A = this chain, B = another copy of it.
Amino acid sequence: MADGMALTARRKRLAPEARREQIVDAAVCYFAEVGLAGTTRDLAKRAGITQALLYQYFGSKAELLEAVFARVYLDRMSPHWPGLITDRRRPLRERILTFYAEYAGAIFSYEWLRIFMAAGLAGEALNRRYLDHVRDVLLAPLLDEIRFAARPDAQPEMEDLWNLHGGIIYLGIRRHIYHLPTPDDVMPVIERAVDRFLAGFAIGQ
């Protein structure tokens, strides 16, 4: 019992992959909080390792940030969303709501939103690539579906979909970037937004 060093003891000798994972985890959390200009020393301190060890696993801070970006974006884009969106056996409204419920669940995280925004400010090409992907793989099919269901004289454009999308994303921005109070459950708000949108193109529920 006198041997109380168990908790605060020196941490040593992790398998390289495990250590790398741990570093990236800590880096995601750290850079999300303090911004991409955070220092390697503070990050190392928070990760419970020495600063020098970072350079055992990453050649430079930029390389570490690359790993952070990869971690944050990887698998946040579910491959079944395109199929969900275009599955005409289900009602359109239900498809959209299911999609945005899952999308919000994946995107509305402190780490994701803040790192994504910081990357945008830093001029990383990542954001453009990601949002091009969102447009091509998610919004474009969604546009097709809505056009298919809409009256010929009330056809939406891509910009209208960006407007719907942005109104929803803005919830996350208010919460995680501006630290403003937002509803705990975002789905009712999203639901009403989607309903207004569909009604605007004369699509019944």
Please report A residues at the B interface, Cβ cutoff 8 Å: 35, 37, 114, 117-118, 120-123, 127-128, 131, 159-160, 162-171, 173-174, 177-180, 183, 189, 192-193, 195-197, 199-200
Asked if residues B131 and A180 are in contact (CB atoms below 8 Å), the reply is: yes
Asked if residues A170 and B169 are in contact (CB atoms below 8 Å), the reply is: yes
Q: A131-B174, A166-B169, A170-B165 are in contact. Are A160 and B193 (CB under 8 A)?
A: yes
Contacts of A177 in B (CB 8 A): 117, 120-121, 127
Closest Cβ of chain B to A132, distance in Å, is 8
Question: Which residue of the partner chain B has the closest CB to A118?
Answer: B121
Contacts of A168 in B (CB 8 A): 163, 166
Asked if residues B171 and A128 are in contact (CB atoms below 8 Å), the reply is: no
Asked if residues B166 and A162 are in contact (CB atoms below 8 Å), the reply is: no
Contacts of A127 in B (CB 8 A): 177-179
Closest Cβ of chain B to A135, distance in Å, is 9
Asked if residues A120 and B178 are in contact (CB atoms below 8 Å), the reply is: yes
Within 8 Å by CB of A121, from B121, B189, B193, lies B121
Question: Which residue of the partner chain B has the closest CB to A199?
Answer: B200
Asked if residues A171 and B167 are in contact (CB atoms below 8 Å), the reply is: no
Q: A121-B117, A183-B159, A199-B199 are in contact. Are A170 and B178 (CB under 8 A)?
A: no
